[in-house]
Amino acid sequence: MKKIRLWALLLTVLMLTSIVAGCSGDKDPPSTTPVPGSGTTKGPDKTTAPAVEEVKMNGYEFLWAHAHSGYRPEGETANADELKEIYAQIEEKFDCKILFIDPGNGMDNLTASVISGTKIADFVRARQSSWIPLSMMGGLIPLDSDQMREAGLDLFNPNNFHQPYTLMTELNGHVWACDISGKYDQMAFGHVYAFNKRLVAEAGYDPAALFQAVRDGKWEYDLFLEIARKITKDLDGDGKYDIWGVALDTDGNEIWSNGTGPILWDEANGRWYSNLSDPKLIKSLYFMTGISGDPNVQFPLEGEAIPGRGDRRNMFYEGKAGFAGLYGPNFGEGGTFKMTDPVGLLPIPKGPDVDHYMINMVDVDTFICLTSNDGWENGAKIMNEIGYHLHDMDGYREFIAEALQYDEESVEMLFDYLLPYAKMNIAKCSDDMYQITRKEFYDSVYKGNMTPSQAAEAFEGKIQAELDKVFRQS
């Protein structure tokens, strides 16, 4: 962390130097000054970008860093052939070359590029734990800026970019990243509860009734725990449970399920703050203890021969648990496709103080543009064209439907009750914050090392200190 603080200081010096020096003949990048007091609820100007003319770029090399494998035209597949044709069309249109590179997308690599002014890519796929601190250092070009729009990045066009996933990257008055999801690749959706329909039915509950409970707003903490307890069984009479109600939790994301969360934005004062003492949050923490602390609900988290999260997922796939906290990549090949029992998807149950369900996007791996990109005008045009060809909500929905084995009610749960309330996991605003929240705070609650109130008191100040550091709050 000392290294990051030093880089931040050097970056400030460099930015001040550039202001004094003025223009050197090259076009300045869009304004990158953070707007700490502008908040996150007002929203950016969603003016449509002007039509992009067919500008010839004289062989410009568009460097696309750390794009997922689904975007890369590799191998002998139908998708690869389609991508080759799409990229060839874009390259011909702009007289450019699209190159896929992997220079490193961690905090160290990105910050070094910004400080030195050395371009490493036009757009980089990076996680929020890296790009949020970088945005606060002034190291990212806001994608909703007038300059980027005028250059041709049509950020708010739903035909070009996935709007919910793009807009959730709005922080402190700017949208910092964009998402392209479709048939070729997608952002992984956040944690939900998968459930084994056979075990639920054997416990006396119609699986269809659980979906209806969601529609009626009755899929809540008590119902979830009630069903889980009835699923738990000792099949051979040896005094040990063979079937469990819950294989594993949702990695701490239950904490957002009662209309609040551990980290919130104060619009009036323009600050991020630790919200651990909120009574609504305490209720969600008690739900977390109900999942992990009840010996009749979940396989214990501590003791001898305790399975890890991967083994717990396998326990669910093998039909030995009724519920499991899973996220996007766990549905499909290598995950739920291994199951012989029918599987469904349900939201994390909601608490008593909220009227809707939510999904917390754990890893927001989206595309950012560093201030070291001196070709940002060309990059904006090419990225917009890539989004136009690759982003496809119908293709995205088809991909999800296949992963959910075309279970129509599960698809309905995700698209109608969760994605409209999707949020970025702000508790991953830095690597240190993730350690504080998931590895320390949530763990202390799950394992019963502290009561919810004790944990809230113990960690509230620690979380606030990290927020002040990341968001540069005095």
- For domain 2-17+45-188+363-391, give the fold: D-Maltodextrin-Binding Protein; domain 2 (3.40.190)
The pLDDT tens digits for 232-249 are: 999 999 999 999 999 999
Domain ranges of the chain: 2-17+45-188+363-391, 192-362+415-470
Going by pLDDT thresholds of 50, 70 and 90, the confidence category of residue 302 is confident
Report the chain's terminal Cα–Cα distance, integer Å: 18
Q: In Å, how far are 31, 86, 449, 457 from 278, measured between CA atoms? A: 37, 51, 20, 11
279-293 and 452-470 are packed helices; what angle lies between their axes, rounded to 10 degrees? Answer: 120
The pLDDT tens digits for 328-340 are: 999 999 899 999 9
Neighbours of 442 (CB within 10 A): 24
- Maximum C-alpha span of the chain: 82
Strand partners, 361: 424
In sequence order, the 6+-apart residues with CB closer than 8 A to the CB of 225 are 245, 290, 291, 294, 297
Residue with tokens 């930015």: 15
The pLDDT tens digits for 71-105 are: 999 999 999 999 999 999 999 999 999 999 999 99
**Mean pLDDT within 48-59:** 74
Per-residue pLDDT, 54 = 73
Decide whether 2-17+45-188+363-391 matches 192-362+415-470 in CATH topology.
Answer: yes
**Mean pLDDT within 442-460:** 96
In sequence order, the 6+-apart residues with CB closer than 8 A to the CB of 97 are 59, 60, 61, 62, 91
Per DSSP, the residues of 164-210 read HHHHTTEETTEE--B---SSS--PPP--EEEEEHHHHHHTT--HHHH
**Cα 459 from Cα 450, distance rounded (Å):** 11
Query: What are 307's two structure tokens?
Result: 């399975």
The pLDDT tens digits for 246-264 are: 999 999 999 999 999 999 9
Determine the 3-state secondary structure of 6 from DSSP: helix
Q: Is 345 left (phi over 0), alpha (psi -120 to 50) or beta?
A: beta
**Cα 386 from Cα 86, distance rounded (Å):** 8
Going by pLDDT thresholds of 50, 70 and 90, the confidence category of residue 432 is very high
The residue among 235 and 302 whose pLDDT is bigger is 235
**E strands within 21-138?**
60-65, 96-101, 123-126
Domain range 192-362+415-470, its CATH number among 2.60.40.1180, 3.40.190.10, 1.10.287.310, 3.30.565.10: 3.40.190.10
Nearest alpha carbon to residue 50 among 172, 174, 169, 148? 148
- In whole numbers, what is the pLDDT of the chain averaged over residues? 90
The pLDDT tens digits for 31-49 are: 443 332 223 333 455 555 5
**Cα 378 from Cα 385, distance rounded (Å):** 11
Per-residue pLDDT, 48 = 57
Chain centroid offset of residue 317 CA: 24
Going by pLDDT thresholds of 50, 70 and 90, the confidence category of residue 118 is very high
**Mean pLDDT within 307-316:** 94
